[in-house]
Amino acid sequence: MTNYCLNHDDSHPTQLTSADIILRQQLENSISTYFYDACDRTIQNLLSICRWYVITCANAMTLVIECPDQITNWRVLQKIVPMATVLGEIISSAKIRVCPPTNLGMPFEMRVDELSVYREGNR
């Protein structure tokens, strides 16, 4: 078995600094703006009804959409393929999580790299 040793400078920090947190927030805000601007008017109007935001954890980015009611949740789910297409052009390792209103079901989550499965299902 081969043992690899990392120089202390090459290892990941154990705790985030305030600069790390600020940079992550700026990245999330920039991606949110870029995503929203790239969406068509229908999706923008739908997002304006919901609470939505981008979060980054480790190497994954997730677009979270919290729907205020079941009708909006259904409309968002119907637009998930075009939203994933836009998001996939920004970052290919992203996910979308659609959250229904509290106590009305489980969140639906898909990775944008799974997009071909959903497109084939619509044929």
Q: Which residue has the higher pLDDT, 79 or 14?
A: 79
Please give the structure tokens belonging to residue 121: 């299902």
Q: Is the pTM of this model over 0.85?
A: no
Sheet with 51-57: strands ordered across:
51-57, 60-66, 95-99, 108-111
pLDDT at residue 105 tops 80: yes
Q: Which residue has the higher pLDDT, 58 or 11?
A: 58
- Average pLDDT of the segment spanning 6-32: 74
Helix axes 18-38, 80-90, angle to 10 degrees: 130
**Got the DSSP string for 76-95?**
HHHTHHHHHHHHHHH-TT-E
